[in-house]
Amino acid sequence: MKSPFFIEWGWIIVKIKYMKFNKKCILVITAILFSTIASAQFYAGVQIGAANLESNVEGTKAETSVGGAVKVGYVYSFTKNIGIGSGIEFSQYKQNVALISSSSTLTNYEVDASGSAFIYNVTTSNYKEKQTLHAVQIPLFVQIKTNINKGIDFNFRAGVKYFLPVMYKINAAADNVTGTAYYPDFNLPIDNLPEYGIGQQSTYAAKGEYDTKGIFMSSFELGFTFDMGKKNALYTAMFLEKGYGTILDQDKNQSYVGFNPMSTTDRKANGLYSTQQNAKITPVAFGLTLGWNFCY
């Protein structure tokens, strides 16, 4: 049987070896953490191009306008060529929407001040909407890059974005608005009762806002980075983004020019897309990205 002396020293040797092993582990973990920080690539940039809110609402047309976004983010490189990135972006879409026929009549069901239901017919002349959408975008993408010349890398990014509208406002205007009522229970048409919201209004102008919800988008970028020093690079690329689903969150059909049971001169702008409860409004954008990459 070994004496307590040898047992004690044996335990001390084991502890010393274990401490040495722990030192190695700590050094390895520290090196990994340092390499993670060393390989961190931050970026800030802007993108600009055609930004469209695709619609399936019948009888309407939209003019595609220039949109853009500002963005900041981070790319973590797993290898020299592959990394994963995320960040935050603030985007803007603008477009003008109108009726295909400038004097169309659209119908909806409304309830008057006494609680009686009726058919509300709205006819406008030269009705137009100026729409402005602001959104926050959260990207998650894979980056693949390869060196093609000294100081020049080819880059490809593919991923998804969570697109969250924060404001979707409309400014509506028309040369003339006429609202008429028809009570089917009494076979009663009414076309001139201004004190109850039925009648004509000239030079209509009103503001409104659509209710919205978040959706997912696919996102692709194809471009180049040009080294501007050891830790900085200029990034240029072409981008394409397409949403899936609809950003509208509507629970009923509404007249695009709202019914006011007290007056014909203060009608709310509900918007053309409110005429269809299940309207599909999807953001699509493509254009150019210009950014600045920097490392620590």
Residue whose structure tokens are 């503001």: 207
Q: How many residues does the chain have?
A: 296
234, two tokens: 């200029």
Query: What's the confidence (pLDDT) of residue 185?
Result: 87
Measured distance CA(208)–CA(7) in Å, rounded: 84
The Cα 71–Cα 48 span in angstroms is: 11
Structure tokens at 33: 């953490």
Question: What pLDDT shows up at residue 41?
Answer: 85
Q: 272 near 248, Cβ under 8 Å?
A: no
- pLDDT of the residue at 10: 43
CATH 2.40.160.20 is the classification of domain 41-295: yes
- 14-28 confidence digits (pLDDT tens): 333 433 434 454 444
Express each pLDDT in 59-106 by its tens digit.
Answer: 999 988 899 999 999 999 888 899 999 999 999 999 999 999 877 788
pLDDT of residue 39: 57
Q: Which residues contact 266 (CB under 8 A, 6 or more apart)?
A: 260
Which of these, 143, 148, 150, lies nearest to 222 by C-alpha position? 143
Hey, where are the domains in the chain?
Answer: 1-38, 41-295
Query: What is the pTM for the complete model shown?
Result: 0.81
CA 98/CA 128 separation, integer angstroms: 5
Supply the DSSP symbol for 22: H
What sign results for the dihedral spanned by CA atoms 145, 148, 152, 156? Answer: negative
pLDDT tens profile 224-243: 999 998 889 999 999 999 99
Q: Give residue 290's Cα distance to chain centre.
A: 19
Which amino acid is located at 144 in the chain? I
Structure tokens at 277: 């409860």
Residue 40 confidence (pLDDT) above 80: no
